[in-house]
Amino acid sequence: QVQLVESGGGLVQAGGSLRLSCAASGRTFSTYNMGWFRQAPGKEREFVARISWGGGRIDVADSVKGRFTISRDNAKNTLYLQMNSLKPEDTAVYYCAADAKYYGSRMSGYTYWGQGTQVTVSS
């Protein structure tokens, strides 16, 4: 089992940057595939990015490609999402998710979820 805690959200102006972190408990973080999702007010939660357990596979949603970068540090049990050139439409609660087997973009594929961190981008 793994517990996830996101941090790093906040208020930023359009064009700015934020780096989100997702700290994982337990000794098996390095064996989990990880993902970032987001949910804007009144909208469904959507896939943002994913990274395989060893970091060798990475996929990013088209809506954030070229602006967001997912990475992980298995020695620190931490997942990151570097967000640059932020837009007002990036405003959402951002969640990290983990699963020992699933590597994909479906919410239902991930077993463990954090509580989320709010990102607000002002115009």
Residue 118, pLDDT score: 98
Residue 27, pLDDT score: 74
Return per-residue pLDDT of the chain as tens, 123 residues: 899 999 999 999 999 999 999 999 977 999 999 999 999 999 999 999 999 999 999 999 999 999 999 999 999 999 999 999 999 999 999 999 999 999 999 999 999 999 999 999 999
For the chain, count helices (H), then strands (E): 0, 11
Residue 1, pLDDT score: 85
Backbone angles phi, psi at 55, to 5 degrees: 85, 0
CA distances from 80 to 18, 36, 100, 122 (A): 10, 9, 18, 22
CA-based nearest residue to 32, from 78, 70, 69: 78
Is there a contact between 50 and 38 (Cβ–Cβ < 8 Å)?
no
